[in-house]
Chain A
Amino acid sequence: MQWETVIGLEVHVQLDTRSKIFSGASTAFGAEPNSQACAVDLGLPGVLPVLNEAAVAMAVQFGLGIHAEIPEVSVFDRKNYFYPDLPKGYQTSQMYHPIVGPGEVEITLEDGATKRIRVHHAHLEEDAGKSLHEDFHGMTGIDLNRAGTPLLEIVSEPDMRSAKEAAAYLKAIHSIVTYLGISDGNMAEGSMRCDVNVSVRPRGQASFGTRAEIKNVNSFRFVERAIAFEVERQVELLEDGGEVVQETRLFDPERNETRSMRTKEQANDYRYFPCPDLLPVVLDRAYVDHLRDNLPELPADKRARFQDALGLSAYDAGVLSASREMAEYFEAVKEVCGDAKLAANWVQGELSGALNREGLPIQDSPVSATQLGELVSRVMDDTINGKAAKQVFQALWNGEGQSADEVIEAKGLKQVTDTGAIEAMIDRVIADSPAQVAQYRDAEADKRGKMIGYFVGQVMKASRGTANPQQVNALLKEKLDALC
C-alpha cells in the first residue's frame, strides 16, 4: 500500500525580551541556577503577574509577519498541573483566545517549488524551570532561571506531507523570527523547540490516521530523523495489522528512535480557566498598525526582491534570503561591489564553502562583507584575476591583511596586463621549451588548441598567477603560430 504522511508542528519560540513575561527578572541564558528567579518566578505566596508589553509586541509582529489575523482581545488562561519545575502549579498560557489568529507560512522545497503551510494560531505563554537530575545523589535539583521566560507557541495545521517539508517549515519559522529579531532562534540553547504530530494514512484517504506527538525535538536534523523513524514505525505497525495509539513520544537522538512517554489515558486534565490575575489583552488598531508599519523586510519579500530587482535565480534568491544573517551579508557585499550576481556567486561559492568546512555560521565569518565586497570589486576592475582572487580570499580568511588591496599589494598579486611584460615572459617560456615547441609545430592545426594549455600554465606560473589569462592566451597563440 502507498502511505501518505501527515505532519503538524507546534513550535515554541523563546522571545528575546530582556525581562520575563510576568516579572522583572532577567532572561539571560546560562546564569548560576536560581540567580535569575524573583519572588514572582518562584511562585511565592501573594505574588502577582504583570504582563511584559515587549512580549505582546513581539507576538503581534510575528502574527503580522505571517499575515495572520490579530484579534482585538486575547486572554491568558491557567494550565494546571503539578511538576517540580512549575512553581505555581500552573502554567500561564492562552487556551481559548490566543494573541495571533490564523495565518500562513510559505516554505521552499529542495526543487525550488513553494508551498503554503497554514498556521492555526500562535499564543503567548511562560516557560517552566528546569529539573536537574545529575549531581544530586538520588534527588532532583530545580533551576528556576528559565521559569517565566516568554514563549510564543506557533501551532500549524496538519499541512506537511514529508519530513523535508516539516524541516523546511521549521526553517521558515526560524528565519521569520530571526528576521523580526524577536528570538535568537538558538536551538542548541532551547530558544526554539518543537513538538511534532505525525500520522500516516493510505494515499487517497481523506480522513487522518491516529497521530503520535513527539515532544521536544530541538534541531532541524532531529525533526527529520524523528519523523522518518516515526513514519516507519507507524507504517510497519499498520501493515502488520496493528493500530497506532494516540500518545506522546520522546525522540532519542542517540538511539535515533522515538519512545512512548504517556498514552491518551494517562494524559493530564489541565483544567484550563481564565487567569483571574491578568486582564484581557486589548490591542487597539493604531498599536497594531504602528507595528505593521515598522516591520522589517521578511524572507518571502526579500526572496522576491532578490529575484525581481537583482535578477538572481530562484535558487540563489532562496539560499541568500534563508537567514537574516546570510541576507544581510550578501546585501552588504553587493553594496560594496555593486554587482549582485558576482556577490551572490562569491557568497554561495568561496565563502559558504569555507564556512561549511569550518562549521562556522556566517555571522562569525573571518572575512567581513566589506572585505569580500572589495575583493569582488578588484576582480571586476581587472586588478586581479580569478585565480589570484581565491588566494586573496584565503589570505583574508587566515587574517593575513586587513583588506583585499593590502593582500594584493603584499603578495604582489596585481594582474599584469602590460603586453610587453607578458610577451617577455612568453618569449622566455618558448625559449625554455624547445621540445614542446617542436611538438606544437608538428601537430595538426586542430590539435594545437589543446597543446597551448601547457604554455599558458608555464607563463602563469612564471607570472606567479598575476598575468591576465586572456592576454596570455591570445599572445601565445600569435607567437607559436608565427613559429609554425
Chain B
Amino acid sequence: MHDKTLTELAAGLAAGEFSSRELTQALLARVERLDGDLNSFITVTAEQALDAADRADAARAAGNAGPLTGVPLALKDIFCTEGVKTSAGSKMLDTFVAPYDATVVEKLRAAGTVSLGKTNMDEFAMGSSNENSFFGPVQNPWDPNAVPGGSSGGSAAAVAAGLVPAAMGTDTGGSIRQPAAFCGITGLKPTYGRVSRYGIIAYASSLDQAGPLARTAEDCARLLTAIAGHDPRDSTSVARGVPDYTEELDAPLAGLKIGLPREYFGEGLDPAVEGAVREAIGVYESLGATVREVSLPHTHYAIPAYYVIAPAEASSNLARYDGVRFGHRCENPADLTDLYKRSRAEGFGEEVKRRILMGTHTLSEGFFDAYYKKAQRVRRLIRQDFLDAFDEVDVLMGPASPTPAFDLGARKDPVSMYLQDIYTIAINLAGIPGISVPAGFVGNRPVGLQILGTHFAEARLLNVAHQFQQATDWHLRRPALAEETL
C-alpha cells in the first residue's frame, strides 16, 4: 500500500479495498522499521493515529466519509497539535506540548485524515538541509549520504521513503519546494494568505506559508482544497473562495505561455540540473506550450533582501522564548538577566542565534532605514518583476535548486547554504505560489522543476504540473528504500 499515491489510497479506502486502520498500521510498521536511520519523524503518534483511523472507518461505515477520510499523513513539527509535543525542531521547545490545534491541523482533522506524527525540520524552519535540527539530521531516502533539503526535510523524506503518502510543510524561502526537489516528490507553496498561519510556529511572518508535499500534483490539489481558506484568526489570510483544486487538472496545455527567467539559468547552476530542466521544458513544448525567455531583473537582490527581512521578523517572533512561561529554562537562574541569557543560549541552536543576531542588528537604531526599509523597497521591486513577467506569460519555469541534494555535512559556510535558495526565495518575497515537480536525476539524486504562477493561480499551477506528470514518470520513481516491502 505504501507505494500508492494519496489519490489512489483515497480511492482504495472508498472502494473498501482496505480500512484506514489497516493502512495506518502498515505505514506505522514502516515508520517503525525504517525511520530509525532515516530520522524523518520527531514524534510518532501511533496511538492517536489508530484512534483517528478507527473514527475514519466508523465515519465511512456510517456513510459520512469525505474525499480524504482515513488518509494517513504527517505534519511538520511546526504545526501546533493539541496534546502532542510541538518542537519546531528546537531544544527550546523539546518539552512544549501544544494546548491547541493549528488551523491547518484542525481542517485536516475535520477532513478525516490520520496524522502519524510530527516530522523533523531545521530548527524554527531556518535551514536548507535539515542539519539544523536539535533532533539530528535526516537522510535523503535516495542516498543516505545526502541531505533531504530543508527546512521541511522530514516531511519530504517521509513521503519519498513511502512512510506516508503526503506531509504538510511550511515554506518561508523554499522550505517546501527545495526538499521536494531533493527528495523527488511534488511540493506546493501556495500564495501568501491562501492558507491560515494560525498555530504555525512563526519564523518570518510575512513570508511563512503552509503547503503540501506529496507524490503528485493531483495529491497536492486534494490537500490544498482541504487546507486553504480564510481564517478569522489570521488577519493576513485572504477572504477568497476556495475552489476544488482538482477540477482544472485535466485542462489541456495547448497555447500555454511559459517564461524562462534568464536569471534562473545563469552562473552557479549545475549543468546537469539545467539539462534536466531544459528537457522537461521540451516536454511542455511537445504538449503545445510556447516558451520564451523573460527577465526578473532584481533577482540578485532577493537573497540579501530576504536575509534582512526574515531575520528581522524572526528576531521579534522568537523573543517569546524567554524561559518564563514555556519551553526551555536554564537551571538555577541567578536573576532575570541570567534566566534570559542562559535559557536562550542553551535552548537555541547556532543558525537560529545567527539569524536573531542579524535581525536584531538590522532593526536597531541607525540601521533600520539602511537595512530593513531598503529591503522592503527591494521586495516591492521583486514583486513587480514577477507581475511584469506574468503580463507576458502564464507561468515561469526553472530549476528549484541550483544543485541536486548535497552531501550531509558538505555545506559548512552559512552563506553557501543561503545561496541554495537562490531560485526559491524571491517567490516568498513576492507572495506568489510555486510548485516543484520531479524532473529527472543527476546520478541517483533527483532534480526538481519549479513552476511559478501569479497570486492565487494555484489551480493553473497544479494543472500545469499534473499535465507534466501525465506525460512523464519521474514522479513514479522510487528510491530503493521505498521499494522495500515488509
Q: How far is the CB of A350 from chain B (nearest CB, A)?
A: 55
| CB atoms of B235 and A49 under 8 A apart | yes
Instruction: State in angstroms the CA–CA spacing of A373 and B163 once bound together.
Output: 83
The residues of B that contact A237 with a CB separation of less than 8 Å are: none
Contact status B236-A84, CB under 8 Å: no
Which residue in chain A gives the minimum CB-CB distance to B324? Answer: A84
Give A271's nearest chain B residue, CB to CB: B363
B312 touches A273 (CB 8 A): yes
Asked whether B322 lies within 8 Å of A82 as measured between CB atoms, the reply is yes
Interface size range of chain B in the complex:
35 or more
Tell me whether A39 is interfacial, beta carbon within 8 Å: yes
Q: Is A241 an interface residue (CB 8 A)?
A: no
Pairwise interchain contact A90-B364, C-beta atoms closer than 8 A: no
Chain B contacts for A44, CB-based, 8 A? 80, 98-100, 326
- As a 0/1 sequence over residues 184 to 218 of chain B, the CB contacts with chain A under 8 angstroms (1 = contact) are 00000000000001111110111000000000000
Structural contact, A46 and B202, CB atoms closer than 8 A: yes
B348 within 8 A of A: no
Q: Given contacts A44-B326, A45-B80, is CB(A51)–CB(B102) below 8 Å?
A: no
Contact indicator per residue, chain B 231-245, by CB within 8 Å of chain A (1) or not (0)? 011111000000000
Contacting pair A46 B80 (CB below 8 A): yes
Name the contact of B198 in the complex, choosing from A48, A272, A276 (C-beta under 8 A).
Answer: A48
Is A88 interfacial (CB-CB < 8 Å)? Answer: yes
- The interface residues of chain B lying within 8 Å CB-to-CB of A142 are 324-325
* B363 adjacent to A46 (CB under 8 Å): no
Task: Give the complex CA separation of A47 and B202 in angstroms.
Answer: 9
Which among A47, A87, A140, A273 has the highest number of chain B CB atoms within 10 Å? A273
The answer to the question of A42 belonging to the interface, with a C-beta cut-off of 8 Å to chain B, is yes
Q: CA A278 – CA B313 in complex, angstroms? A: 13
A46 to B315, CA, bound (A): 15
A341 to B360 CA separation, bound complex (whole angstroms): 64
Contact status A89-B205, CB under 8 Å: no
CB atoms of A45 and B198 under 8 A apart:
no
Decide: B235 and A50 in contact? CB cutoff 8 A.
yes
Please state if A39 and B316 are interface contacts (CB–CB under 8 Å). no
Which applies to chain A's interface (DSSP): helix, strand, loop or mixed? loop
Interface residues as binary, B250-272 with A (CB distance below 8 Å gives 1, 0 otherwise): 00000000000000000000000
Main secondary structure of the interface of B (DSSP, over half): loop
B441 at the interface (CB under 8 A from A): no
CA distance A225 to B13 in the complex (A): 77
Query: With A46-B102, A87-B320 in contact, is A271–B86 under 8 Å at CB?
Result: no
CB-CB under 8 A from B206, the residues of chain A are 276
Verify B336–A46 contact, CB threshold 8 A. no
Q: Does B116 reach chain A (CB closer than 8 Å)? A: no
Establish whether residues B364 and A45, one from each chain, have CB atoms under 8 Å apart when the complex forms. Answer: no
| Tally of A interface residues using CB under 8 Å | 29
Known: A43-B325, A278-B235. A88 touches B93 (CB 8 A): no
Contacts of B234 in A (CB 8 A): 48, 50
Which residue of chain A has its CB nearest to the CB of B376? Answer: A274
| Cβ B232 vs Cβ A50 within 8 A | yes
Q: Is B307 an interface residue (CB 8 A)?
A: no
Say yes or no: A46 contacts B199, CB within 8 Å. Answer: yes
Contacts of B480 in A (CB 8 A): none
The reply to whether B235 and A45 contact each other, CB–CB distance below 8 Å, is: no
- Chain B residues lying within 8 Å of A174, measured Cβ to Cβ, are none
A273 x B372 contact (CB < 8 A): yes
Give the residues in chain B near A46, CB-CB below 8 Å: 79-80, 86, 98, 102, 198-202
A277 touches B236 (CB 8 A): yes
Residues of chain A in range 332-382 having any CB-CB distance to chain B below 8 Å: none
Chain A CB within 10 A, most for which of B360, B363, B365: B363
Q: How far is the CA of A42 from the CA of B235 in the complex (A)?
A: 19
Complex interface: chain B residues within 8 A of A279 (CB)? 235-236
* B301 interface residue (CB < 8 Å to A): no
Per a CB cutoff under 8 Å, which of B200, B201, B320, B364 touches A88? B320
Cβ of B319 under 8 Å from chain A: yes
Q: Which residues of B contact A51 (CB under 8 A)?
A: 235
Decide if B93 touches A45 in the complex (CB within 8 Å).
yes
Q: Is A394 positioned at the interface, with any CB of B under 8 Å from its CB?
A: no
Check B456 for interface membership: any CB of A closer than 8 A: no
B99 contacts A90, CB within 8 Å?
A: no
- B363:A89 contact, CB within 8 angstroms: no
* A270 closest partner in B (C-beta): B365
Q: Is the CB of A43 within 8 A of B313?
A: no
Contact A45 B316 (CB under 8 A): no
Task: Name A45's contact: one of B96, B315, B340 (CB within 8 Å).
Answer: B96
Which of chain B's residues have a CB closer than 8 A to the CB of A39?
99-100
How distant is A127 from chain B, measured CB to nearest CB, in Å?
17
Closest 10 CB pairs of A and B: A89-B319, A271-B363, A276-B205, A276-B206, A46-B199, A46-B80, A43-B320, A45-B201, A88-B320, A269-B365
Contacts from B to A (Cβ < 8 Å): 79-80, 86, 88, 93, 96, 98-100, 102, 197-202, 204-206, 232-236, 312-313, 315-316, 318-320, 322, 324-326, 336, 340, 360, 363-365, 368, 372
Q: 16 other contacts beyond A39-B99, A45-B96, A276-B204, with CB at 8 A cut-off?
A: A42-B325, A44-B99, A44-B326, A45-B80, A46-B199, A46-B201, A47-B198, A48-B198, A48-B234, A48-B236, A80-B316, A82-B340, A89-B316, A273-B313, A273-B316, A276-B205
Q: Mark A residues whose CB is within 8 Å of B.
A: 39, 42-51, 78, 80, 82, 84, 87-90, 140, 142, 269, 271-273, 276-279
Q: What are 6 of the A-B contact pairs (CB < 8 Å)?
A: A45-B88, A46-B200, A87-B324, A89-B320, A276-B313, A278-B235
